[in-house]
C-alpha cells in the first residue's frame, strides 16, 4: 500500500524549528511528507534541513519545477495538509483564499483534511481579525488547533505557543484515520470534564477517587481532531494537556461545577466524564489534623456536593445543547444505568463496569451508551479513544 501523503506547510515563525520534530514523527511512522515552507519560514529553518528530513526537495515558490505544475499537484495528491506553525498572516491568507506562494496555492487545491497549528504572540492571536479568520477556517471544515499557553519568544508568556509536536502529530494521525469527513464537529464548542475531584480535609489530606482522567482526555483529543473548539475541565489529572484544548484545572467538585457551568454557557455539548465526589467534608481544618494520644479519631462529617450533571441537564444553557454523563457501576450495570439516565435527565449516559482492576488508569474501556430515546450502543473492549469517537458520533447525530 502507498504511504499516506502529507504536506507539511511551515510559515515564518520561531516555532518553525519544532516542525522538524513533527516532520520526523510523520516520516518515522510511515508517511510520505512534502515540506512546503514559506519564504519567511526559511529564515528560521533552512531548505537543507527540510530536504534531508523529508527526503524530498522543499519547494517554496510556484516558479520552481514549473513543468510538474507543483502548485496544483501537491495539494491534489495530499491525504492531509498540516500547517505548523501557522502565523497570523498565514491564517489570514488561508481564510481569504489568497495564493501568492506554493503553500497558499496548495491550500486552495487541497481536497483533503487541513490542520492548522497556529503560533504567535498572544495579542496577535486574540486580535479580532485573527479570531474571525480562525472561525472562518473552522466553519469551512479545517481543524484549527488552539495554541498552548506558556513561554513565547523572549520573556513573554501567554497563549500562542505551538503545542508539543508529539501532540500535533496525534491530531494529524486521528484526522488522517477519519479521512475527508473528519471535521464533523467543526464550528462547535464542546466542554469535557475529566479526572477526579479531591475534597480537602486539611491542607495535606483529601477524600479522592481513582479516576486518572484518561477517558476525558481521550474525549478532548478526539474532539480536537474532529474540528471542535474544546474546553477541558481537568480535576487533578497528571496527564499532559491535549494539544488544541483549552484546559481549566480544578480541584474540588465546587470548583469543577463553577468551571463547567461557565464554559457550558455557549457550548453545543457538555460531557461529564469526571468522577465528581458526591460528598465533601463538612469542615475544613486550616491546620493539619493531629492525632492525640489515647483519643479515638473524630468521625468525618460529610455534606452533599452539587450534582453538576443533573444541574446541566435541568437548565440547558442553550436550546439543543447535548448533555452526556458517565456512570461507573459495579453491579446491575444496565439496570442501574437506565435508572441513572432517567434520574440525571441527560441525553446520553456512558455506562461502564468498574472494579479493582478495571477501567481506572487503563488505556482501554468497554461500555454501553444509553440514550434518552431508549436506544443502546454497545462499544466493545478497546482503546478509550474508540469509545470517545462513538460518543462524538452520537453527539454529532443529535446536533444535526
Nine-digit cell at 40? Answer: 519567511
d(C-alpha 215, C-alpha 263), whole Å: 19
Strands 114-118 and 80-86: parallel
Q: How many Å apart are CA 164 and CA 331, to the nearest integer?
A: 41
CA-wise closest residue to 223 among 194, 254, 262: 194
Query: How many Å apart are CA 41 and CA 47, to the nearest integer?
Result: 9
- Cβ at position 186, least distance to ligand CTP in Å: 26
In the bound complex, what is the minimum distance in angstroms from residue 250's beta carbon to ligand CTP?
13
Beta bridge partners of 370: 349, 376
Residue 307 CB neighbour total at 10 angstroms: 18
CA distances from 248 to 18, 69, 126, 230 (A): 25, 47, 18, 11
Catalytic residue among 43, 105, 133, 209: 209
Query: Of 271, 264, 232, 224, which Cα lies nearest the Cα of 250?
Result: 232
DSSP letter assigned to residue 304: E
DSSP 336-374: HHHHHHHHHT-SEEEEEE-BTTBSTT-SEEEEEEEETTS
Shorter beta-carbon distance to ligand CTP: residue 91 or 272: 272
The residue ranges that bind ligand CTP (CB under 6 A) are 253, 272, 274, 276, 278, 305, 307-309, 325-328, 340
Q: Which phi and psi angles does 357 have, rounded to 5°?
A: -110, 10
If the CB atoms of residues 223 and 328 are measured against ligand CTP, the closer one turns out to be 328
171 or 390: CB nearest ligand CTP: 390
Q: Which is nearer to ligand CTP, 71 or 344 (CB)?
A: 344
Question: Closest CB to ligand CTP among 96 and 304?
Answer: 304
| Closest distance to ligand CTP from the beta carbon of 340 (Å) | 6
DSSP code of 66?
G
Is residue 105 part of the annotated active site? The answer reads no
Smallest distance, Å, CB 318 to ligand CTP? Answer: 18
**Greatest Cα-to-Cα distance within the chain, rounded to the nearest angstrom:** 91
Rounded Cα distance, 75 and 106, in Å:
4
Q: How far is the CB of 244 from ligand CTP (least distance, A)?
A: 23
Nearer to ligand CTP, 272 or 322 (CB): 272
Q: How far is the CB of 276 from ligand CTP (least distance, A)?
A: 4
Choice between 116 and 326, CB closer to ligand CTP: 326
Q: Least distance in Å: CB of 326 to ligand CTP? A: 4
d(CA 159, CA 51): 31
Handedness of CA 388, 394, 395, 400 (dihedral sign): positive
- Residues known to be catalytic: 209
Amino acid at each position: 500500500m502507498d504511504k499516506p501523503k502529507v504536506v507539511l506547510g511551515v510559515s515564518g515563525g520561531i516555532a518553525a524549528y519544532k516542525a522538524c520534530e513533527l516532520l520526523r514523527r510523520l516520516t518515522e511512522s510511515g508517511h510520505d511528507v512534502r515540506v512546503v515552507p514559506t519564504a519567511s519560514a526559511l529564515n528560521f529553518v533552512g531548505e537543507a534541513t527540510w530536504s534531508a528530513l523529508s527526503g524530498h526537495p522543499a519547494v517554496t515558490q510556484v516558479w520552481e519545477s514549473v513543468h510538474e505544475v507543483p502548485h496544483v499537484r501537491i495539494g491534489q495528491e495530499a491525504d492531509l495538509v498540516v500547517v505548523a506553525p501557522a502565523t497570523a498572516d498565514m491564517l489570514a491568507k488561508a481564510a481569504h483564499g489568497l495564493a501568492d506562494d506554493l503553500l497558499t496555492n496548495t491550500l486552495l487545491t487541497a481536497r483533503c483534511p487541513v490542520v492548522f497549528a497556529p503560533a504567535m504572540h498572544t495579542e496577535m492571536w486574540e486580535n479580532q481579525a485573527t479570531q474571525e479568520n480562525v472561525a472562518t477556517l473552522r466553519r469551512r471544515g479545517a481543524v484549527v488547533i488552539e495554541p498552548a499557553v506558556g513561554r513565547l519568544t523572549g520573556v513573554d508568556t501567554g497563549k500562542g505557543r505551538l503545542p508539543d509536536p508529539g501532540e500535533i502529530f496525534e491530531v494529524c494521525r486521528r484526522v488522517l484515520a477519519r479521512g475527508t469527513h473528519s471535521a464533523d464537529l467543526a464550528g462547535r464548542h464542546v466542554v469535557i470534564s475529566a479526572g477526579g475531584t479531591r475534597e480537602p480535609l486539611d491542607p495535606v489530606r483529601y477524600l479522592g477517587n481513582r479516576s486518572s482522567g484518561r477517558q476525558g482526555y481521550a474525549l478532548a483529543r478526539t474532539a480536537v481532531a474532529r474540528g471542535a473548539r474544546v474546553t477541558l475541565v481537568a480535576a487533578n489529572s497528571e496527564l499532559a494537556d491535549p494539544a488544541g484544548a483549552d484546559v481549566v484545572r480544578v480541584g474540588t467538585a465546587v470548583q469543577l461545577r463553577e468551571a463547567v457551568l461557565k464554559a457550558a454557557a455557549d457550548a453545543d455539548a457538555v460531557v461529564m466524564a469526571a468522577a465528581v465526589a458526591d460528598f465533601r467534608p463538612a469542615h475544613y481544618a486550616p491546620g493539619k489534623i493531629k492525632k492525640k494520644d489515647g483519643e479515638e479519631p473524630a468521625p468525618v462529617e460529610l455534606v452533599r456536593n452539587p450534582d453538576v450533571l443533573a444541574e446541566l441537564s435541568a437548565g440547558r444553557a442553550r436550546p439543543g445543547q447535548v448533555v452526556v454523563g458517565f456512570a461507573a457501576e459495579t453491579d446491575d450495570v444496565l439496570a442501574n444505568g437506565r435508572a441513572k439516565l432517567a434520574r440525571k435527565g441527560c441525553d446520553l449516559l456512558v455506562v461502564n463496569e468498574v472494579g479493582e482492576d478495571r477501567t481506572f488508569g487503563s488505556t482501554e474501556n468497554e461500555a454501553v451508551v444509553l440514550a434518552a430515546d431508549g436506544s443502546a450502543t454497545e462499544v466493545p473492549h478497546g482503546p478509550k479513544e474508540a469509545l470517545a469517537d462513538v460518543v462524538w458520533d452520537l453527539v454529532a447525530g443529535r446536533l444535526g
